[in-house]
Amino acid sequence: MTEGPATAVGKRGIVARGLLMLLMAIAFQICATLLALAAIVQFVLTLVHEAPNARLTELGRGLGLYLGQIADFVTFASEEAPFPFSAWPSGR
């Protein structure tokens, strides 16, 4: 059996998505580490100032949404590639 042009394009598309999924998995690990660090800093600042930092709260919410977008993309729950291929998710 020979592969037609549509099959070759489909395979190239899935290979490109696989590479993008690998990059997104690396971005997921980096962002998860940043989220953990932000949580630790937020905890310390809350102990010192007795109130959470609003900017860190917004950062944490945005990172959480971004991690969700990455998880959706790499598990084929979404076809939309996350940031930097689309807008950063709003933390509000």
Tell me: the pLDDT tens digits for 24-64? Answer: 999 999 999 999 999 999 999 999 999 999 999 999 999 99
Q: For the whole model, what pTM was predicted? A: 0.81
Model pLDDT, residue 61: 94
Residue the block writes with tokens 């580490």: 33
Q: What is the mean pLDDT of the chain?
A: 88
Asked if 31 contacts 83 with a C-beta cutoff of 8 angstroms, the reply is no
- Amino acid at site 14: I
Given a cut of 60, whether residue 2 has pLDDT beyond it is no
Residue the block writes with tokens 């993008």: 20
- Amino acid at site 48: V
As given in the structure block, the two tokens for residue 8 are 């070759």
pLDDT grade for 6, boundaries at 50, 70 and 90 = low
Residues 38 and 22: their CA atoms lie apart, in Å, by: 24
Model pLDDT, residue 8: 57
